[in-house]
Amino acid sequence: MADIALAGQMTSIPDRAIAIRKGGARDTRFRVLTLSAAVLVLAIFAGVMASLIIGALPAMRNFGWGFIYTEAWNPVTEKFGALASIYGTLVTSLLAMLVAVPVGIGIAIFLTEICPRALRRPIGIAIELLAGIPSIIYGIWGLFIFAPWFQAHVQTALVDTFANVPYLQDIFGGPPYGIGIFTAALILSIMVLPFISAVTRDVFETVPPVLKEAAYGLGCTTWEVMWRVVLPFARSGVVGGAMLALGRALGETMAVTFVIGNAHHIKQSVFAPGTTISATIANEFTEAVGDLYLSSLIEMGLILFFITFIVLASAQLMLRALERRAGSAS
Partner 1 sequence: MNKALYIRRKLWNGFFLLLSVLAAGFGLIWLGFILGALFYNGFAALSSKLFLEMTPPPGEDGGLANAILGSVMMSALAVAAGTPLGLFAGTYLAEYGRYTRLAFFVRFVNDILLSAPSIVTGLFIYEIIVVKMGHFSAWAGAASLTVIVIPVVVRTTENMLLLVPNGLREAAAALGAPQSAIIRSVTWRAARAGIVTGVLLAIARISGETAPLLFTALNNQFWSTNANAPMSSLPVVIFQFAMSPYEDWHRLAWAGALLITATVLTLSIVARILQPKRSH
Q: Which of residues 263-292 bind partner 1 (CB under 8 A)?
A: 278, 281-282, 285-286
Piece of 77-85, 168-176, 210-218, 222-230 that binds partner 1 (CB under 8 A): 222-230
CA gap 245, 318 in Å, rounded: 13
Establish if 224 lies at the interface with partner 1 (CB under 8 A): yes
DSSP string, 233-258: HHHHHHHHHHHHHHHHHHH--HHHHH
Phi, psi torsion values for 113, nearest 5 degrees:
-115, -40
Establish if 58 lies at the interface with partner 1 (CB under 8 A): no
Establish if 130 lies at the interface with partner 1 (CB under 8 A): yes
Quote the distance between the C-alpha of residue 131 and its chain's center.
11
Of 41, 76, 210, 218, the residue at the interface with partner 1 (CB under 8 A) is 41
Phi, psi torsion values for 74, nearest 5 degrees:
-130, 100
Piece of 18-26, 59-67, 154-162, 228-236 that binds partner 1 (CB under 8 A): 18-26
Of 63, 67, 258, 271, the residue at the interface with partner 1 (CB under 8 A) is 258
CB atoms within 10 A of CB 82: 26
Q: Which of 299, 303, 300, 307 is nearest to 57 (CA)?
A: 299
Q: Which of 67, 187, 177, 171 is nearest to 139 (CA)?
A: 187
Quote the distance between the C-alpha of residue 306 and its chain's center.
14
Show Cβ contacts of residue 15 under 8 Å, excluding neighbours closer than 6 positions.
none
Establish if 209 lies at the interface with partner 1 (CB under 8 A): no
Q: Which of 67, 320, 92 is nearest to 192 (CA)?
A: 92
Pick 87 or 204: Cβ nearer partner 1: 204
Beta carbons of 200 and 104 less than 8 angstroms apart: yes
Of 94, 137, 152, 157, the residue at the interface with partner 1 (CB under 8 A) is 137
Encoded one letter per residue, x for contact with partner 1 by CB under 8 A and - for no contact, window 238-257 reads ------x--xx-xxxxx--x
Pick 33 or 163: Cβ nearer partner 1: 33
Establish if 139 lies at the interface with partner 1 (CB under 8 A): yes
Establish if 329 lies at the interface with partner 1 (CB under 8 A): no
Pick 6 or 159: Cβ nearer partner 1: 6
Eight-class DSSP state of 272: S
Establish if 218 lies at the interface with partner 1 (CB under 8 A): no
Establish if 48 lies at the interface with partner 1 (CB under 8 A): yes
Establish if 91 lies at the interface with partner 1 (CB under 8 A): no
Beta carbons of 235 and 226 less than 8 angstroms apart: no
Cβ-in-10-Å burial (0-12, 13-18, 19+) of 111 comes to buried
Encoded one letter per residue, x for contact with partner 1 by CB under 8 A and - for no contact, window 307-326 reads -xx--xx--x---------x
Pick 115 or 171: Cβ nearer partner 1: 115
Beta carbons of 174 and 272 less than 8 angstroms apart: yes
CB atoms within 10 A of CB 91: 18
Minimum CB distance to partner 1, residue 13 (Å) = 14
Pick 35 or 94: Cβ nearer partner 1: 35
Chain positions 158 to 197 lying near partner 1, rule: CB under 8 A, are: 190, 193-194, 197
Establish if 97 lies at the interface with partner 1 (CB under 8 A): no
Minimum CB distance to partner 1, residue 288 (Å) = 9
How many residues touch partner 1 (CB under 8 A)? 101
Establish if 140 lies at the interface with partner 1 (CB under 8 A): yes
Establish if 52 lies at the interface with partner 1 (CB under 8 A): yes
